[in-house]
Amino acid sequence: MKLSASCISILAVSLSLARCDDFQQHVLQDKDTPIVKSVAIIGGGAAGTSTAFWLSNVFPHKGSVQVTSTIFERNSYLGGRSTVVPIKGDYSLGTIELGASIFVEANKNLMMATEKFGLNKTRLTALEQEISVKNRPGLGVWNGKEFLFEESGSYWDSMKALWRYGLTPLKFQRKQKEVVKRFMELYDADHGFEHVSEVVKSLEYQSLLNMTAETYLKELGINDRFAQEILQTATRGNYCQDLDSLHALAVMVSMEAGHGTWAVESGNYNIFEEFARRSQAAIQLQTKVIGINNITEVDTNGDTVKRYIVETLDGTSQVFDEVVLAAPIKFSGIHQFPFPTKQEERPYHAVYVTLIAGHPDPSYFGKTMENMPTFVVSTGAPLENGESVIKIFSPTELKDDYLDKLFLDRSWTYRKGWHAFPQLEPIAKDQSFPSFILKTDENDESGIIYTGAFENFISTMETQTIAGKNAARLLYDKWCNSKSGFNKNCQEFGDGWGSYGLTK
**pLDDT, tens only, 282-315:** 999 999 999 999 998 876 667 788 899 999 999 9
Q: What is the pLDDT of residues 214-256, one digit of tens each?
A: 999 999 999 998 998 889 888 888 888 899 999 999 999 999 8
Mean pLDDT to the nearest integer, 113-141: 67
- The pLDDT assigned to 158 comes to 64
Helix and strand counts by DSSP (H, E) for the chain? 14, 21
- The pLDDT assigned to 89 comes to 92
Distance CA 433, CA 408 (A): 47
Lowest-pLDDT range, 65-74, 442-451, 454-463, 480-489? 480-489
Residue 109 clears pLDDT 70, i.e. is over it: yes
- The pLDDT assigned to 153 comes to 58
Residue 16 clears pLDDT 60, i.e. is over it: no
What DSSP string describes 247-286? BHHHHHHHGGGGG-EEEETT-THHHHHHHHHHHT-EEEET
Q: What is the pLDDT of residues 140-167, one digit of tens each?
A: 766 677 766 676 655 555 666 777 888 8
Element (H, E) at 479: helix 461-479
Higher pLDDT, 14 or 169: 169
- The pLDDT assigned to 444 comes to 78
- The pLDDT assigned to 389 comes to 84
- The pLDDT assigned to 501 comes to 65
Distance CA 162, CA 172 (A): 14
Average pLDDT of the residues of the chain: 83
Query: CATH fold of 36-79+268-346+431-481, please?
Result: FAD/NAD(P)-binding domain (3.50.50)
* Per-residue pLDDT band at 208 (split at 50, 70, 90): very high
Q: How far is CA 320 from CA 59, 68, 307, 332, 337, in A?
A: 17, 10, 6, 19, 15
* Per-residue pLDDT band at 1 (split at 50, 70, 90): very low
Mind spelling out the 3-state secondary structure of 103-168? Answer: EECCCHHHHHHHHHCCCCEECCCHHHHHHHHHCCCCCEEECCCCEEEECCCCCHHHHHHHHHHCCH
* Per-residue pLDDT band at 15 (split at 50, 70, 90): very low
- The pLDDT assigned to 12 comes to 35
Query: The whole model's pTM is what?
Result: 0.85
Residue 7 clears pLDDT 60, i.e. is over it: no
Residue 132 clears pLDDT 50, i.e. is over it: no
- The pLDDT assigned to 136 comes to 59
Residue 450 clears pLDDT 90, i.e. is over it: yes
3-state secondary structure of 489: helix
**How many residues are given for the chain?**
504
Residue 139 clears pLDDT 80, i.e. is over it: no
> Tell me, what amino acid is at 267?
G
Q: What is the pLDDT of residues 322-373, one digit of tens each?
A: 999 999 998 999 999 988 888 788 888 888 999 999 988 888 888 887 777 7
